[in-house]
Amino acid sequence: MSEIPEIGKISADIFSEIIFPRLGAGSKDVLVGPMHGVDVGIAEIGNKAVSFTTDPVFIVPEYGWERAAWFAINILASDSVTCGLPPRYLSIDMNLPMSMTKEQMDITWKVIHSECERMGINIITGHTGRYENCGYPMVGGGTVIGVGELDQYVTPRFITAGDKIIVTKGPAIEATGIFAAMLPRLLEEKFGKEFSIRAQDIFYKMSVVDDAMAAVSVGVRENGITAMHDATECGIWGGLYEVAEAAGLGVRVEQEKIVATDCVLEICNLFEIDPYAS
């Protein structure tokens, strides 16, 4: 019997052993059910494809409250759009620490509202409170619901041998974006003020909402995009592994053709991290 990890997501073995065999009542309406490495479930409801994705509400005050709120909602939405359906509704649970002030909550919610408005997401329900023993960064959870046509969604089962892999932004976007947001003075000392300012822009490249919606606009399945994934934990290598495993296929990667965003390789070298696994 496999052991649960000390920290982070459970392994594929634990998922298959404990989670997957026990999924509540079955339903013939489920088009895409739980799979390790796939972030979205899809059901047919009223002749529409309806997607569901759930993630923690992850707020890091050290980013600054506006950036922290931007990060929280865009991480949720980025997982949702990997199925190709536009996000439409948000259910959000916020279990806030006792230390959070009204002003901090106001800034956080204003940004969540404005980002949802920009992405066309209606906040349809939720729960908000302050509680003892709740702490940053995990302050709740959210579910984003997408809606589209039955022939509009994508998922790894549509992948076929010979499909091409497109990396939209390059390696280590999340890792270097966070370093740049939290350690601007260090980067300025090492590489200069102009570099530090440019590097902080990487933070806002973490969202893949625009990338995903642009990709599926050219066509899906046999006419274009077959599957998408938001590479976060373990970087590009981890993302490719998860997609390949879900598709039941292997991948051939031409690493030299992966283009790194400005400032990324310098930051990775500074902190001695592998840009392709971060």
Asked if residue 120 and residue 54 are part of one domain, the reply reads yes
pLDDT band at 1 (very low <50, low <70, confident <90, very high): low
The pLDDT of residue 8 is 82
Query: What is the tens place of the pLDDT at every residue in 151-176?
Result: 999 999 999 999 999 999 999 999 99
Residue 5 within a domain: no
Question: Is residue 5 pLDDT above 90, yes or no?
Answer: no
Asked if residue 108 and residue 120 are part of one domain, the reply reads yes
Query: What is the tens place of the pLDDT at every residue in 89-139?
Result: 999 999 999 999 999 999 999 999 999 999 999 999 999 999 999 999 999
Asked if residue 26 and residue 145 are part of one domain, the reply reads yes
Contact residues for 73 (Cβ-Cβ < 8 A; gap 6+): 90, 111, 112, 115, 116, 142
Asked if residue 169 and residue 252 are part of one domain, the reply reads yes
Last residue of a domain, one of 114, 138, 153: 153
Asked if residue 161 and residue 149 are part of one domain, the reply reads no
Query: What is the tens place of the pLDDT at every residue in 25-84?
Result: 999 999 999 988 789 999 999 999 999 999 999 999 999 999 999 999 999 999 999 999
Asked if residue 262 and residue 182 are part of one domain, the reply reads yes
Last residue of a domain, one of 105, 131, 153: 153
Q: Which among 99, 103, 227 is positioned nearest to 153, based on CA atoms?
A: 227
Asked if residue 261 and residue 234 are part of one domain, the reply reads yes
Question: Is residue 245 pLDDT above 70, yes or no?
Answer: yes
Number of domains in the chain: 2
Asked if residue 30 and residue 148 are part of one domain, the reply reads yes
Residue 89 within a domain: yes
Asked if residue 131 and residue 19 are part of one domain, the reply reads yes
- Give the pTM: 0.93
Asked if residue 127 and residue 192 are part of one domain, the reply reads no
Asked if residue 213 and residue 144 are part of one domain, the reply reads no
Query: Helix H segments across the chain?
Result: 12-14, 65-81, 102-119, 173-182, 184-191, 193-200, 209-216, 235-247, 264-271
Quote the tokens at residue 228. Answer: 């998408």
Range of the domain at 182: 157-271
Asked if residue 141 and residue 54 are part of one domain, the reply reads yes
- Helix axis angle, 264-271 to 173-182, nearest 10°: 70
